[in-house]
Amino acid sequence: MAAHSDASERPRVCVLDVDAGVDDAQAIVAVVLSPEARAGKLVVAAITCVTGNVPADEVLLNVKAVLAACGPEAEAIPVFAGAARPLVADYEDARYWHGEDGLGGARAKWTPTASAVAVSGTETAPAALWRLAQEHEGRLELLALGPLTNVAVACLLYPRLPRLLRRAVVMGGTSRMTGNLGAALEYNFAADPEAAASALSPQALGGGVGGEALSASDEDAFLSAGRRPVEVVAWEASLDAALPVDWCRGGDWLGAPDSTAAEMLRDASELVLSRLEEGGETTYPCADAVAAAVLLRPEATVTGAVVRAAKVETSPGLCRGALVLDHRPSHVPPGDRAEAGPATGATIDRPGAKAWRPEAGWGVCEVATGLSTAAVQAMLADSVKP
């Protein structure tokens, strides 16, 4: 899960697909106000909105409120409206956790002027993803923090999209069947199982990003094409790197002085933090912030990862929307990394490894198995420094 620098040292370019969402807001601030972005080493080309925690039109309002708190340069980031509903499933929001406005009740206070709230033209989120991938071929890094509806539609409409990406980091699914929506499900994948299954299929991100194109007759033989696996940050990653609630409230992050962004995040996060404390919890599994750290600083954040064949269950029943990983020894890629160890950013086709491919219909993903809480804390603290 390493982000290798270009020889020319051009800035990294990323796009965020969000369903904001309190933790989406935290991730947006972490990326937009990161030292990397402030120094011109990272460009946020756009933010696309998908229905999830709240409907897409409200996600747009929340994103604009967050960007307004981040300053004039952040307000200029293009924002695009995306899918208004899941592909097949009935829509279920997550207001029960994120508040009625999806932003912990903070939207009204932080909503900017009407002109600043306007969507960036008539271009849809999937079309914007495709255009940006073409404009930044081989350089664009995708951070998907909500249901994968926009991503799935983009890959269906523009099948070459994964070939043009540099990285794809997806927050979603479970790696150990420990859910945040029932016993075994994670919200993003369960909210739109068909989109998750499509996006992680071998014809889309599950076929790897970057690398060479393949013929239609050999579309699942992607291991020889020099592609990188999609990086999945499952729900358990946020549990492994959960933030102490006391630290969240402290002066390094939400309590940081002289930071408008920290004040906005403090307003947005109070509902969630209070509920955790009322339930006797002492840590906060901040899923989207963890995924943002994987995107921004993979070498510091990811201490272990495995590559596995993957598929999302779409059949009716208890596990609809579950991420299924194939851990059978005979189905693990030769030369795969151990369960623990430094993340190296190795590609799917490891040098010297014999040919390997998953079973038909299965994609491939790289799943984080070890993460550094300290690295996530450092990223969040850096984003609210003057």
Name the residue among 328, 332, 329 with its Cα closest to residue 354.
332
DSSP letter assigned to residue 325: E
pLDDT over 50 at 16, yes or no: yes
Q: Per-residue pLDDT tens for 226-259?
A: 788 999 999 999 999 999 999 999 889 999 988 9
Q: Using CA atoms, how far apart are residues 239 and 74, in angstroms rounded to an integer?
A: 30
Q: Is 234 in contact with 188 (CB distance < 8 Å)? A: no
Q: Using CA atoms, how far apart are residues 77 and 266, in angstroms rounded to an integer?
A: 22
For the chain, list the domains and their CATH numbers.
12-383 (3.90.245.10)
Average pLDDT over all residues of the chain: 87
Q: Using CA atoms, how far apart are residues 369 and 78, in angstroms rounded to an integer?
A: 34
SS3 369: strand
- Residue 8 has a pLDDT of 57
pLDDT over 70, % of the chain: 85
DSSP letter assigned to residue 151: H
pLDDT over 50 at 374, yes or no: yes
pLDDT over 90, % of the chain: 71
**Comparing 175-189, 286-300, 348-362, which segment has the lowest mean pLDDT?**
348-362
Q: Is 126 in contact with 80 (CB distance < 8 Å)? A: no
**Comparing 280-289, 319-328, 356-365, which segment has the lowest mean pLDDT?**
356-365
pLDDT over 60 at 5, yes or no: no
pLDDT over 90 at 352, yes or no: no
Q: Using CA atoms, how far apart are residues 138 and 128, in angstroms rounded to an integer?
A: 16
Backbone Cα Rg of the chain: 19
- Residue 347 has a pLDDT of 36
Burial grade of 324 (CB within 10 A; 0-12, 13-18, 19 or more)? middle
Residue 180 region by backbone torsions, left for phi larger than 0, else alpha for psi between -120 and 50, else beta: alpha
Tokens of residue 262, six digits: 């920290």
- Residue 213 has a pLDDT of 64
Q: Using CA atoms, how far apart are residues 193 and 89, in angstroms rounded to an integer?
A: 7
DSSP letter assigned to residue 189: H
Name the residue among 61, 145, 96 with its Cα closest to residue 271.
96
DSSP letter assigned to residue 222: G
Q: Using CA atoms, how far apart are residues 40 and 37, in angstroms rounded to an integer?
A: 5
Q: Per-residue pLDDT tens for 36-56?
A: 999 999 999 999 999 999 999
Q: Per-residue pLDDT tens for 123-178?
A: 999 999 999 999 999 999 999 999 999 999 999 999 999 999 999 999 999 988 88
Reported confidence tier of residue 340, pLDDT bands at 50, 70, 90: very low
> Got the DSSP string for 54-113?
S-HHHHHHHHHHHHHHH-HHHHTS-EEE--SS-SSSPP---HHHH-TTSSTT-HHHH---
Q: Per-residue pLDDT tens for 202-231?
A: 999 999 999 876 554 454 455 556 788 999
